[in-house]
Structure 1
Amino acid sequence: MVDVILGLQWGDEGKGKIVDYFASQYDVIARFQGGPNAGHTLYVGDKKIVLHQIPSGVFHEQTVNLIGNGVVLDPVTLRKEADKVAAFGIDLKKNLFISERTHLILPTHRALDKAAELSKGESKIGSTLKGIGPAYMDKTGRNGLRVGDLLHKSFTTQYIKLRLKHQKLLDNYNFTEEISEWEEEFFEAIEFLKSLNIVNGEYFINDKISAGKKVLAEGAQGSMLDIDFGTFPFVTSSNTISAGVCNGLGVAPQKIKEVIGVSKAYCTRVGGGPFPTELEDETGEKLRKVGNEFGATTGRPRRCGWMDLVALKYACMLNGVTQIVMTKADVLDAFEELNVCTAYEIAGRETKEIPFQMTHAAIAPKYQSFKGWNCDSSSIKNAANLPAEMKAYIQFINGALGAEVKYISNGPGRDQLIKI
């Protein structure tokens, strides 16, 4: 069977640590979508490492890690990341496998991403400029190059053909930046990629399942960034919800068992797009400072706000969430009063549904207030010792969502996770 861990907000929920925590219970960890725009932060001992492409189970020797066909892969990012992982004594040639159907991010994809974002002016969507969008566009446009193509003698010819097509688009943007250095780095990284385990991903994963192995599918970004169900057009280019596991790995829906949703005890968002509970005041700044809310990939300050139960319940519904991990609960230690959004007011009407186009709706969040716990929760090891106010906060959330918080993360460390 396949269990899934994914984000329930706009990404940055702390999924990396959670996958790392659960990884020892699984035989296979598989990334099913996204690209190097996702940054999953882990701590190995007291050392911090951010993984962008490699699955978060890589530091568990007995665990096999698969990059699935739903991912778009930047060979340059992968090589740099592999060097960082190798410094911890990890041999990727033993425990990392890559689906041959995984699409490649080319240097010209990065250039197109940058050119398109710059052309939008005030309408920027907050792209990380990693080439993810253009790579997925080539995938759906049936032009893309895949990892398996690297092993064919026609790869260079295919690459030149696609590069010429991209260059015409770049000329339309008047993009003059030199990318030859990017290409040199790309082709060096391609040779490294060819030295890794390239497999027929869908057979690989299904053979593991048939053999009784436990598989954990790891999602990137968050449910509210899903290309279909997120806050369009301020979304990513892939399906970030649990349905994406099926086409991102090649597994049947009935193989999915547990869906573990990860949510912060509050909300954050990087880049543009609607954010109904955003706090553009001292409270928002305090959340950012205490929570160290800066993007793992971009370093950009994250927008911060109170928990949004309308959006969270929507995400739980779409994903079929069976249990929730609430991260960064310790950040709320510093607040005397907490607010939770329970409904939206739009055009004078109250609703608990996400509107079709959030960017066109003037949304006023309706809040319920809670007393903060005002104590250091980061050293608590078991649920019985949680402050009464935190228990009340969680109990209210459980009642509103219909899916229960089963774990509380109260710090960045591996051991700072409390089972409720």
Structure 2
Amino acid sequence: MAQNSVKNSAKNVVVIGTQWGDEGKGKIVDWLTDHAQGVVRFQGGHNAGHTLVVGQGDAQRVYKLNLVPSGIVRAGVNCYIGNGVVLDAGHLIGEIAALEKDGLEVKSRLKVSPGCPLILSHHVALDTAREAKRAIKIGTTGKGIGPTYEDKVARRALRVYDLFYPERFAEKLKEVMDYHNFVLTNYLGSKAVDFNQQYDASMAHAIALKPMIADISAELYAANARG
């Protein structure tokens, strides 16, 4: 199919990698965003990364992204993080700050699903402790991606919307942290993670994230209806 027909004839385009990562998905998405109204990140976490080089000569800028969809470097393109993404809130906030320091307007164009499972300190601790214990390493990035998806499947994950109900968040966090701390200390021979430190950080993250929280399904349905 000709390049222009891909860009101009399809109302919605999905880019899926089939080679276990590093297939160049980010470059394809960046190419497609010339003609896109919005870009959606629908799964994965901040273990992924892609570098975008925009412009030429003195106007050339380099952007390094992990969580924020690559459409953010294109003016007028809205970006969405769907509930299939496992979210390290602190990393996202830092990435947004770095992009805005480079002159991009991010917060008004980025929407985050309240259903995203949160990557928390015990997930990172589990990831690194398991890798250290293995005789044969699997090469994990140690960023807590796998353990967070485990909690999602096991129906014990804390999600973005939990951040806005502090008492409930504290109860759920203590329950799941006690569970994982038992594994960390008794099986993996590692240190327990601190409840208060994670709780305080999460409450700060809630304040920063709140303006960007949106029903992504409704946003995409409305955008699709507008054509």
TM-score bin (small chain): 0.7 to 0.9
Q: Distance in 2 between matches of 1:202 and 1:179?
A: 35
Equivalent residue, structure 1, for 2:209: 193
Which position in structure 2 is the counterpart of 1:85? Answer: 99
Indicate whether 1:7 and 2:14 are aligned: no
Q: Distance in 2 between matches of 1:133 and 1:181?
A: 24
Are the aligned partners of 2:163 and 2:203 in contact in 1 as well (CA < 8 Å)?
no
How does the TM-score come out when normalised to structure 2? 0.84
Matched, 1:49 2:59: no
Scaled by the length of structure 1, what TM-score is found?
0.47
What SS class does the counterpart of residue 22 from structure 1 fall into? helix
Mapped pair 1:175 → 2:185: no
Check whether the contact 1:107–1:186 (CA below 8 A) recurs between aligned residues. no
The higher-RCO structure (CA 8 Å, 6+ apart) is: 1
Aligned to 1:301: none
Give how far 1:76 is off: 1.4
Residue 146 in structure 1 maps to residue 156 in structure 2: no
Of residues 15-24 and 131-140 in structure 1, the stretch that sits farther from structure 2 once superposed is 15-24
Closer/same/farther in 2, CA of residues 11 and 181 from structure 1, 3 Å limit: farther
Deviations 1:24-54 (A, max 9, x none): 2011100011001100211134332221111
Q: Which runs of 5+ in 2 are unaligned?
A: 1-10
Aligned-residue identity in percent: 38
2:109 matches 1:95 = yes
Residues of 2 paired with 1:74 and 1:156: CA distance?
18
Structure-1 separation of matches of 2:71 and 2:33: 5
SS of alignment partner, residue 30 of structure 1: strand
Task: State the secondary structure of the residue aligned to 2:99.
Answer: helix
Higher relative helix content: 2
For the 8 Å contact 2:69–2:79, the answer to whether it is kept is yes
Which letter does structure 2 place at the counterpart of 1:7? G
**Structure showing greater Rg:** 1
The answer to whether the 8 Å contact 1:61/1:95 transfers is no
Deviations 1:258-292 (A, max 9, x none): xxxxxxxxxxxxxxxxxxxxxxxxxxxxxxxxxxx
**Aligned pairs for 1:9-408 within 5 A:** 9-45=19-55, 46-122=60-136, 124-153=137-166, 154-171=168-185, 172-176=187-191, 183=198, 185-194=201-210, 196-212=211-227
The equivalent residue for 2:4 is none
Q: One-letter code of the match for 2:159?
A: R
Which one has a larger percent strand, Structure 1 or Structure 2? Answer: 1
Q: Distance in 2 between matches of 1:155 and 1:169?
A: 21
Structure 1 residue 189 displacement after superposition: 3.3
> Structure 1 residue 110: deviation in Å?
0.5
Q: CA RMSD in A?
A: 2.1
- 5+ residue gaps, structure 1, are 213-420
For residue 47 of structure 2, what is the amino acid of its counterpart?
Answer: N
CA distance, structure 2, for counterparts of residue 147 and residue 178 of structure 1: 20
1:79 and 1:157 map into 2 onto residues whose CA distance is 24
Kept in 2: contact 1:107–1:182 (CA 8 A): no
**One-letter code aligned to 2:109:** N
| Residue type of the alignment partner of 2:72 | V
SS in 2 for 1:10: coil
Q: Could you tell me how far apart the structure 2 residues matched to 1:36 and 1:187 are?
A: 20
Q: Structure 1 CA distance, aligned partners of 2:134 and 2:222?
A: 46
Cα distance in 2, alignment partners of residues 199 and 43 from structure 1: 29
Q: Determine helix, strand or coil for the equivalent of 1:121.
A: coil
Q: CA deviation at 1:144?
A: 0.4
**Aligned AA for 2:207?**
E
Supply the distance in 2 between the matched residues of 1:6 and 1:37 (Cα, whole angstroms): 17
